[in-house]
Structure 1
């Protein structure tokens, strides 16, 4: 690394080069066939990037959120979108509670395997009856000798078709009105298909990456599979949620940039009435506006990532990063689709795939409306509406 190069510059250059080995046609084929992009995952595993935020002592490379976020943005911007982003995302951020709160035995056994891509994990929090009110999950873990028995249901669980392990949130104590988020425990356990029925959900976009319903029936979990302390699981999730929100913003920005790159080329090449359509301000100005919004959103994302890396509070900034990145990405993809006119609907131009995938980010990991609820109450001090 030269004096002029930062770690961010190095990560951006290296991961951009790696991700762009897989072109838009590769991702279109994965989307059409609903095939998991194992070749892409293997390539990033061989480069050591799956362990981006896993400490070196556990087989990772110990990068900060800033560098990892840039990597994820470059993956999305390569044309991989959320099909490529999600494939790598689940190696980088869901393990955060294990890194920070798992037992030494748990970390030494599983983190190196995650970093090498030898196992795949799922993240089991969301439930159909609770929605964004995690305090009301119904999945319950009941005490038995030496461990727990878990029963319940989860929904929108990524990777469950292929995952070996699951980071699973369950109630271990009854919900209390004075402390509604207390009493939930995180378990890192086998995704045992004899006790967990996995049912895939057909969905609008990101077809290469499976989303699923889980039905958990008398799943036995050992005490050694508890992450941290019993009843404190939700608070440990925050170690993964704040960085995830920041990175979702950066992935949205990457998607927007991928679409903008395609739209700019098309606007230069497409000739109507004897002139490139990009010469028309009705085409050029929306694309220019999209670029400005993507750049501005990235500044908020990098601010949030910097605060996290400095071990400073970053809740509002992380929420704002997710909000702005998702909005800017969606707007860029939508305007890129409009730039292509009728061809925007054609799969061969790749815009409609990016457009379908970026729409997810306005709803997940939590909706834009919930971001506004959070900012209005926690930042502005307005009364809670829910």
Structure 2
């Protein structure tokens, strides 16, 4: 197991950093305040092939793996302009379709995801289900005239207003009337598909939505992977989701620490830089160590995923946990080093507080990760 990056991966990291550096925090902040989308950054990342690095070459991608997509996600975030939909469209949707989709589904969706001309959102969470996906009530029943009829309600779905379709986790009613897990690709302009924004406590370029499916008719080919795909299709997307969220958290942690350290070097009080005081320096140094450990955990998780190793599930959860905690501590240390300026939008740190705090909750909460590790790694009794 060698975690040293290849020459190609180092070139990828450098190229992504260079591209994202042209945009930066000011770009994201201006877009978020204006209620606009990150269209230019997304389009450039797609045209350069960055969004499709993990998509198979035969469908227009780079033919790489999750290690490569984690590099892309981290470097864009490290420039201060994270793209949340990378976690959703290239990570979740592309992984699900590439591993579980039919040949026709791969040919239809993957090229657009790879070049950024198609965006896919992902809908699993429901108001009364939360972390318990077994309680999902959104369901699809066979239509006597062909296809499926989708009914249900999803909650906290990212980027629906800029998506071409939504990958929906539902319960499928098979020919015997039994409800089974299934995934459907639902175009956002489908009759009966409606959504409304959820007002959030922090400003972000990507918005959150409640989504409603009122007897939406779907063709047979909307069912991803056919009737037998079920949980296999779902699990194909969950580990990439956790890995790329971890990578984005690592990038935001790096960004915050770079800003905090620079401020601590330049800001002088009582005749010397504030970074000379251990009360300022030590929290930044501690946060740096935590971010580096989280980056290592993320690389390990991505590498295991690319090797199809069963240990990738635990590793992805560990990476997501570690990266969320590290990013929160990094932003907090940077805000504290900035003093009052840390809460100013001008310095680019305060607006990150809500973003990194959210990663402790989503896409899976810290508590559910601890439950997973306690039960599956430590062999402790199930607690929920």
Q: TM-score, normalised by structure 2?
A: 0.94
The question of whether the paired residues in 2 share the 8 Å contact of 1:170 and 1:185 is answered with: yes
1:169 alignment partner in structure 2: 169
Show the counterpart of 1:270: 267
User: Could you tell me which residue of structure 2 aligns to residue 149 of structure 1?
Assistant: 149
Distance, in Å, in 1 between the alignment partners of 2:107 and 2:245 is 28
SS in structure 2 at match of 1:149: strand
Look up the match of 1:189.
Answer: 186
Q: Deviations over 1:132-181 (max 9, x none)?
A: 1011101111111321101110011111112111111111149xxxxx9x
Q: State yes or no: 1:229 paired with 2:226.
A: yes
1:57 aligned partner:
58
Q: Does 1:361 align with 2:359?
A: yes
- Of 204, 209, 213, the residue aligned with 1:207 is 204
The residue aligned with 1:349 is 347
**2:321 is aligned with 1:320:** no
- How far 1:231 sits from its partner (Å)? 6.0
Residue in 2 that maps onto 1:306: 303
Q: Does 1:370 align with 2:368?
A: yes
Q: Tell me if the contact between 1:184 and 1:230 (Cα under 8 Å) persists in the aligned partners.
A: no
CA apart distance, 1:65:
0.7
Cα RMSD of the aligned pairs, angstroms, is 1.8
Measured after TM superposition, the shift of residue 339 of structure 1 is: 0.8
CA distance in 1, matches of 2:122, 2:224: 13
Find the residue that maps to 2:200 and give its secondary structure: coil
Separation (CA, whole Å) in 1 of partners of 2:187 and 2:152: 16
How far apart in 2 are the matches of 1:334 and 1:102?
42
Shift of the alpha carbon at 1:193? 5.1
Structure 1 distance, partners of 2:17, 2:110, is: 25
Residues in 1 aligned to 2:381 and 2:235: alpha-carbon distance in whole angstroms: 23
- Write the distance in 1 (CA, Å) between the matches of 2:194 and 2:26: 33
Instruction: Report how far residue 97 of structure 1 moved.
Output: 1.0
Q: Distance in 1 between matches of 2:92 and 2:319?
A: 18
Instruction: Give the C-alpha shift of residue 232 in structure 1.
Output: 4.1
For the 8 Å contact 2:89–2:121, the answer to whether it is kept is no
Report the number of matched residues. 375
How much does 1:94 deviate?
Answer: 1.9
1: distance between equivalents of 2:374 and 2:169? 28
Indicate if the aligned counterparts of 2:259 and 2:334 stay in contact, CA closer than 8 A: yes
Give the corresponding residue for 2:130: 131
Residues 5 and 137 (structure 1 numbering): CA distance in 2 closer, same or farther, change over 3 Å? closer
- Runs of 4+ aligned residues of structure 1 deviating over 6 Å after TM superposition are none
Query: Residue 77 of structure 2 contacts residue 255 of structure 2 at CA under 8 Å; is this kept in 1?
Result: yes
Structure 1 unaligned regions, length at least 5: 175-179
Deviation string, structure 1 residues 27-62 (Cα, Å, up to 9, x no partner): 221121121100100110110112121111011111
TM-score by length of 1: 0.93
CA distance in 2, matches of 1:77, 1:331: 16
Partners of 1:37 and 1:87 within 8 A in 2: no
* Kept in 2: contact 1:287–1:332 (CA 8 A): yes
